[in-house]
């Protein structure tokens, strides 16, 4: 454990002050919809010019690490994810808030995030010497099968009509294909609009589908989020306990996050959705997901934070950023004369371990503030719907607009808010649409890359891909067998 040698340096007073400042700043950025870890770091970089490399690292990495904590708070409380990777937290976190268990959900999210982050960073510490082989084991066929495996979640998470769940998934796929095709790079389904060349902005869609739809529904009903239930104020301890009660789920989600985080280009959003999907697929009682299952919150948050350890691996070891946030971090490090790549594992190994130590301490400081402040925000679930609605709309539109400053993003958020409202009203699955939107592009690009690189046999001859095929088929068969059993049981009970 190389980071232990640097822990003392991080725990010094000046470093701790930078760390607390970074954590609080990251929490606020995370709470604001549309702003995530990459923006948190990008805005901080100019402030680090006059700092030493160590102070800059502490400030950047603690702000990045805590932004996810803030994002999960808004997902749980007002169904408006702070960032795309927090979207899956809302699937079960918000229904828990509606049941008056927001405090429990927040506590579970904070603890799962902190411990998930810790595990991710510990694995990073251990993996640095053997990273390369593991990263190269995953190629295009595995990505394709991973996307297909993820899409089968739709069959499981859809409540009500499965037929409408499939339609919702297909709509999501169609939206995912808007933009440029992965082979020729030519535009498709853009209908002459330049704005659509980059595809449908995921964050604006998520903000619309969850935030605006929720505001709409709050306005229509004119009731508070947790209107007909007693808000459970003492849920913090219950939330903390739930993480340990579901420890295997937590650990499994951590490893999904770490592994997907290691692979450049896959992104944290896919990691959190995959962790959610796996939690659903492997649960004994699948029906409770989407209706307020604490396991759904734990899985997503654990994967979301543990992926940071995975993300840092190619960034530090090879200088390959796993995503936008890591690219910003590389920029921040280079300003201070630190070039990510083999140099970080040889000449600057101390700095690498210092970074890991700072990230670990940052996670626990963020958990402390999250647990201190988060449950106090539960009161928002008791505010009258007609008062909450305009504030949620405002925050959502600000979030959609704030990321890139494109007016089109506001239009997309509003449009998807309306679509989401009617989907909810007429029994279509919003979750299925989002899952398909996230995984659709990965599925298509990896399909073409597999065909070009390995040919059709690539899907069934590689051991990891084959395992994923088997898992996909088995999970679907198991789901339908279980459904049939439930039906027969119900039939028997009715006959009796």
Interface contacts to another protein, rule CB under 8 A: 28, 32, 43, 160-164, 166-167, 170-171, 173-174, 177, 181, 183-184, 188-189, 191, 212, 216, 219-220, 386-387, 389-391, 393-394, 397-398, 401-402, 405, 407, 410-411, 414, 417-418, 422, 425-427, 443-444, 447-448, 483, 487, 490-491
- 2 or 427: whose CB is closer to another protein? 427
- 248 or 426: whose CB is closer to another protein? 426
For residue 379, which phi and psi values (nearest 5 degrees)? Answer: -55, -25
- 160 or 342: whose CB is closer to another protein? 160
How many Cβ atoms are within 10 Å of 493's Cβ, its own excluded? Answer: 8
Judge whether 100 and 229 are in contact, CB under 8 Å: yes
Q: How far is the CB of 422 from another protein (least distance, A)?
A: 5
| Residue 231: closest CA among 77, 373, 82 | 77
**Residues 427-443: b if buried by 16+ CB within 10 A, e if exposed:** ebbbbbbbbbbbbbbbb
* Integer Cα distance of 258 and 266 in angstroms: 12
Q: How far is the CB of 212 from another protein (least distance, A)?
A: 8
Report how far apart, in Å, the C-alpha atoms of 24 and of each of 29, 58, 129, 216, 328 are.
9, 13, 33, 31, 19
| Residue 305: closest CA among 374, 246, 250, 368 | 250
Judge whether 113 and 374 are in contact, CB under 8 Å: no
Q: How far is the CB of 122 from another protein (least distance, A)?
A: 34
Q: How far is the CB of 47 from another protein (least distance, A)?
A: 12
- 154 or 303: whose CB is closer to another protein? 154
Q: How far is the CB of 395 from another protein (least distance, A)?
A: 8
* Integer Cα distance of 333 and 311 in angstroms: 15
- 206 or 298: whose CB is closer to another protein? 206
- 190 or 238: whose CB is closer to another protein? 190
Judge whether 298 and 246 are in contact, CB under 8 Å: yes
Q: How far is the CB of 168 from another protein (least distance, A)?
A: 9
Q: How far is the CB of 376 from another protein (least distance, A)?
A: 18
Q: How far is the CB of 145 from another protein (least distance, A)?
A: 14
Q: What is the 3-state secondary structure (H, E, C) of 48-75?
A: HCCCCHHHHHHHHHHHHHHHHHHHHHHH
Structure tokens of 450?
């597999």
- 164 or 288: whose CB is closer to another protein? 164
Question: Which parts of 201-252 are beta strand (E)?
Answer: none
| Residues 384, 385, 390, 393, CA torsion sign | positive
| Residue 120: closest CA among 273, 300, 310, 260 | 310
Given its phi and psi angles, is residue 223 left (phi above 0), alpha (psi -120 to 50 degrees) or beta? beta
How many Cβ atoms are within 10 Å of 184's Cβ, its own excluded? Answer: 8
Q: How far is the CB of 443 from another protein (least distance, A)?
A: 7
- 173 or 329: whose CB is closer to another protein? 173
Report how far apart, in Å, the C-alpha atoms of 318 and of each of 49, 258, 263, 474 are.
25, 17, 12, 37
- 301 or 444: whose CB is closer to another protein? 444
- 345 or 415: whose CB is closer to another protein? 415
- 158 or 475: whose CB is closer to another protein? 158
Q: How far is the CB of 34 from another protein (least distance, A)?
A: 10
- 285 or 493: whose CB is closer to another protein? 493
* Integer Cα distance of 166 and 435 in angstroms: 11
Q: How far is the CB of 419 from another protein (least distance, A)?
A: 9
Exposed, middle or buried by CB within 10 Å (0-12, 13-18, 19+), for 223?
A: middle
Q: How far is the CB of 384 from another protein (least distance, A)?
A: 9
């Amino acid at each position: 454990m190389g980071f232990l040698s640097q822990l003392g340096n991080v725990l010094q007073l000046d470093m701790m002050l930078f760390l607390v400042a970074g954590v609080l700043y990251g929490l606020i950025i995370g709470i604001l919809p549309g702003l995530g870890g990459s923006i948190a770091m990008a805005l901080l970089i100019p402030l680090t010019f006059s700092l030493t490399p160590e102070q800059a690292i502490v400030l950047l990495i603690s702000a990045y690490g805590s932004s996810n904590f803030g994002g999960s708070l808004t997902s749980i409380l007002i169904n408006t994810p702070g960032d795309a990777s927090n979207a899956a937290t809302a699937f079960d976190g918000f229904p828990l808030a509606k049941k008056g268990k927001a405090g429990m959900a927040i506590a579970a999210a904070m603890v799962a995030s902190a411990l998930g982050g810790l595990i991710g960073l510990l694995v990073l510490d251990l993996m640095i010497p053997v990273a390369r082989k593991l990263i190269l084991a995953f190629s295009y066929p595995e990505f394709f099968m991973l996307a297909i495996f993820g899409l089968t979640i739709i069959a499981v998470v859809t409540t009500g009509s499965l037929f409408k769940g499939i339609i919702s998934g297909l709509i999501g796929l169609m939206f995912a294909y808007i933009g440029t095709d992965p082979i020729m790079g030519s535009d498709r389904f853009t209908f002459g609009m330049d704005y659509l060349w980059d595809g449908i902005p995921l964050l604006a869609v998520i903000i619309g589908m969850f935030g605006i739809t929720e505001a709409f529904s709050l306005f229509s009903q004119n009731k508070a989020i947790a209107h007909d239930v007693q808000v459970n104020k003492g849920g913090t301890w219950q939330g903390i306990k739930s993480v340990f009660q579901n420890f295997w789920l937590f650990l499994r989600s951590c490893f999904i996050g770490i592994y997907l985080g290691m692979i450049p280009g896959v992104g944290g959003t896919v990691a959190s959705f995959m962790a959610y999907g796996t939690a659903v697929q492997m649960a004994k009682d699948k029906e409770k997901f989407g209706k307020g299952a604490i396991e759904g919150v734990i899985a997503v948050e654990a994967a979301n934070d543990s992926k940071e350890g995975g993300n840092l691996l190619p960034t530090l070891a090879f200088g390959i950023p796993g995503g936008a946030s890591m690219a910003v971090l590389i920029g921040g490090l280079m300003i201070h004369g630190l070039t990510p790549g083999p140099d970080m594992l040889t000449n600057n190994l101390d700095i690498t371990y210092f970074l890991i130590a700072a990230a670990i301490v940052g996670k626990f400081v963020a958990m402390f503030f999250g647990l201190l402040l988060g449950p106090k925000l539960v009161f928002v679930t008791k505010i009258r719907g007609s008062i909450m609605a305009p504030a949620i709309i405002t925050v959502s539109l600000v979030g959609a607009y704030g990321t890139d400053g494109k007016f089109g993003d506001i239009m997309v958020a509003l449009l998807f808010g309306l679509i989401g409202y009617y989907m909810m009203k007429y029994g279509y699955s919003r979750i299925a649409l989002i899952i398909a939107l996230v995984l659709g592009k990965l599925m298509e690009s990896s399909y073409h890359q597999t065909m070009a690189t390995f040919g059709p046999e690539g899907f069934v001859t590689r051991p990891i891909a084959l395992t994923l095929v088997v898992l996909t088929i088995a999970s679907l068969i198991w789901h339908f067998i279980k459904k049939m059993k439930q039906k027969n049981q119900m039939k028997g009970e009715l006959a009796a």
